[in-house]
Chain A
């Protein structure tokens, strides 16, 4: 009884506290990151002498990616010009756009980071990761086409107006990601705290300690990393089944249902809402050359290339988590706690991305209106 009443009061309070702490940590981490990693804050001036590591990276893969992207991107404009007179050049344009899309998404960016984190946080499958990646890239292309079709083609507004619209959409997208992240933190926080309470010692050391306990006699030995593990410590105050499932991470069965998909589409909406500045430039340029349709085709092919890369990264994230689950799932409570911790951290990342992007600390690809 004593525990029953505590069970009711504490998770909500603990969750609220956790979210507060996490938000603070997020802001602190992002702010710290600005000082350490970022050369420039959008509100302050450039900060020369900020980041030795970033400079070091440029020489390597990232530098190569940047160089390749630039090359392909610059070829797009000449391909569109060529397509005006030569029908075959359209195929060149599409090929370049496709490769550009692949390279573009291979560089670090917020879209795949949010999708990957979401997949990990929400116990998603690789298959769904692929679907979500393609859907968000498709939406992104669609938004770019709609913005230019309405702004430039239909209303003939200026670049400034269109860019303003782009910025508004961008803010909405970031706010959605932040809200989405907060929700994930809330639900996963509950699971994490429950897993902590199920431990013999609900201390930060629990993870390490649990790992040393050998409960091999009890282990469930399957891929499901749900609350069942909490029952292993029969000699301790434990969490009953009825507490689980209310604000718990969804069961695989639930995920496959319409609700799971709805949540998934929430993510792609939040991520895909924001159009790519490059696509907008290409579309306006194609429109001015009288080849709007070629620009639209190029935009969608670009999206296809982007989707392939994002899907590959998403599958990698899900596989890594599956591996972690398999390795830690062999044991009791500790394994569950470990996975709840990973999911909680991933949820925190989604929130962090949203907050960071919203306040301009992490500009994936700054919308620059000249």
Chain B
């Protein structure tokens, strides 16, 4: 009798523990997107065939666009010039630094670092804000395999690449081949859950589920 009670109480304790663990959960699973971005990206190449950086154009959803414009002054109601939006663009790129610009690059398996963004500005069109900015690589790199991922590991921001021409190569050697994987086409999930990835931990974080993967092969 006592033994059974002990077992039962242990079971209950376990249940409580599991319930609480579920309540906390991994932080990453707690977030759900509040911001939606439709993105296009361009990979910039130098004359010698090395990658020099990435140029992004991110269009925010209407709710976030409206939110971001709150309190911004404009001469004409509902029309915002690049100059009027300059302070907001400044805030945008400065805040994005904390999140690594949601852009993660690897050249032949080696992580690449980015410098501060340049040529950034905001555009307001049809009620939506588009943030344009260029991320120069710290050191331009020549690589056979270039991998670029655009995503928010905490999934506060949902990145969706544009249906038309999501990724372009600017000035890349003619032999370079581009391949692009969206997060929801199943390949990203399969890859994440694959045993190989599970074992080596590659791309196995939660946010990577939502990663847009760009790969450029230049043989």
Give the B-binding residues of A (Cβ under 8 A): 37-40, 42, 45-59, 62, 65-66, 69-70, 73-74, 76-77, 104, 107-110, 112-113, 116-117, 120, 152, 156-162, 211-212, 214, 277-278, 280-282, 284-285, 287-289, 313, 316-317, 320-321, 323-324, 327-328, 330-331, 338, 342, 346, 349, 353, 361-366, 368-370
Q: Determine the chain B residues whose CB is within 8 A of the CB of A370 once the complex forms.
A: 35, 64, 68, 91-92, 95-96
Known: A40-B154, A320-B19. A51 touches B205 (CB 8 A): yes
B79 beta carbon closer than 8 Å to chain A = no
Number of interface residues of B (CB under 8 A): 66
Interface: B120 (CB within 8 A): no
10 closest A-B pairs by CB: A108-B25, A39-B205, A158-B71, A49-B201, A113-B23, A324-B12, A54-B206, A39-B153, A37-B26, A54-B26
A108 CA / B22 CA spacing, docked (Å):
7
C-alpha gap A361/B27 in the complex (Å): 8
Complex Cα gap A58–B192 (Å) = 11
User: B interface vs A, CB < 8 Å?
Assistant: 2, 5-6, 8-9, 12-13, 15-16, 19-20, 22-36, 61-64, 66-72, 88, 91-92, 95-96, 98-100, 104, 153-158, 189, 192-193, 198, 200-209
Cβ B72 vs Cβ A323 within 8 A: no
Q: Cβ of B66: which chain A residues have Cβ within 8 Å of it?
A: 284-285, 288-289
A298 to B95 CA separation, bound complex (whole angstroms): 29
- Across the interface, do B20 and A55 meet the contact criterion of CB distance under 8 Å? no
Q: Are A58 and B2 interface neighbours, CB within 8 A?
A: no
With a CB–CB cut-off of 8 A, which chain A residues contact B71?
Answer: 152, 156-159, 161
A353 to chain B, nearest CB (A): 7
Instruction: Give the shortest distance, in Å, between B135 (CB) and chain A (any CB).
Output: 14
Contacts of B64 in A (CB 8 A): 281, 370
The distance from the CB of A334 to the nearest CB of chain B, in whole angstroms, is 9
Q: Which of A73, A108, A284 is B70 in contact with, Cβ under 8 Å?
A: A284
Cα–Cα distance between A4 and B195 once the two chains are bound (Å): 62
Contacts of A113 in B (CB 8 A): 20, 23-24
Q: How far is the CA of A369 from the CA of B157 in the complex (A)?
A: 12
Does B70 lie within 8 Å of A49, measured CB to CB?
no
Chain B residues lying within 8 Å of A211, measured Cβ to Cβ, are 2, 5-6, 9
22 A-B pairs within 8 Å (CB atoms) are namely A39-B154, A46-B207, A47-B153, A48-B202, A49-B200, A51-B205, A52-B204, A55-B206, A57-B26, A58-B206, A59-B189, A77-B61, A107-B25, A107-B32, A152-B71, A156-B71, A211-B6, A282-B63, A323-B12, A324-B16, A342-B13, A368-B156
A51 contacts B203, C-beta separation under 8 Å: no
Cβ–Cβ < 8 Å partners of A50 in chain B: 201, 204-205
Q: Are A51 and B13 in contact (CB under 8 A)?
A: no
Q: Within 8 Å CB of A40, what residues of B?
A: 28, 153-154, 205, 207
Tell me the bound Cα distance from A313 to B39 in angstroms: 38
- Residues in A neighbouring B104, C-beta threshold 8 A: 46, 48
CA distance A324 to B72 in the complex (A): 57
Q: Nearest chain-B residue to A320 (Cβ)?
A: B16
Contact A327 B2 (CB under 8 A): no
Partner of B207, one of A39, A74, A278, A289: A39
Do A278 and B26 touch (CB < 8 A)?
no
B26 engages A159 (CB within 8 Å): no
If A116-B19, A353-B24 are given as contacts, then 8 extra A-B residue pairs at C-beta distance below 8 Å, sorted by A number, are A55-B209, A73-B33, A107-B30, A211-B9, A282-B63, A313-B23, A361-B27, A366-B156
Q: Is the CB of A42 within 8 A of B201?
A: no
A56 touches B207 (CB 8 A): no
Complex CA gap A368/B92 in Å reads: 11
Instruction: Name the A residues within 8 Å of B157 (CB-CB).
Output: 368
CB neighbours (8 Å) of B31 from chain A are 363, 365-366
Q: In the complex, which of the residues A42, A59, A112, A159 has the most CB atoms of chain B within 10 Å of its own CB atom?
A: A159
A115: shortest Cβ distance to chain B, in Å?
Answer: 9
Contact indicator A278/B28 (Cβ below 8 Å):
no
What A residues does B205 contact at CB under 8 A?
39-40, 46-51, 54-55
Pick from B15, B20, B99, B198: contact of A52, CB below 8 A.
B198
Return chain A residues, CB-CB under 8 Å to B68: 159, 370
Given contacts A112-B23, A116-B23, A161-B71, is CB(A368)–CB(B95) below 8 Å?
yes
Asked if residues B9 and A74 are in contact (CB atoms below 8 Å), the reply is no
- Is A46 a contact of B29 with CB atoms below 8 Å? no
Cα-based distance from A66 to B26 in the complex (angstroms): 14
Q: Which of B15, B66, B156 has the most chain A CB within a 10 Å cutoff?
A: B66
**Pair B202/A49 contact, Cβ less than 8 Å:** yes
Provide the residues of chain A in CB contact with B100, threshold 8 Å: 45-46
In the complex, which of the residues A46, A55, A117 contacts B192, with contact meaning CB atoms closer than 8 Å?
A: A55
Query: Contacts of A62 on B, CB cut-off 8 Å?
Result: 25, 29
Q: Which residue of B lies closest to A38 (CB)?
A: B27
Q: Which residue of chain A lies nearest to B29 when distances are taken between CB atoms in the complex? A: A62
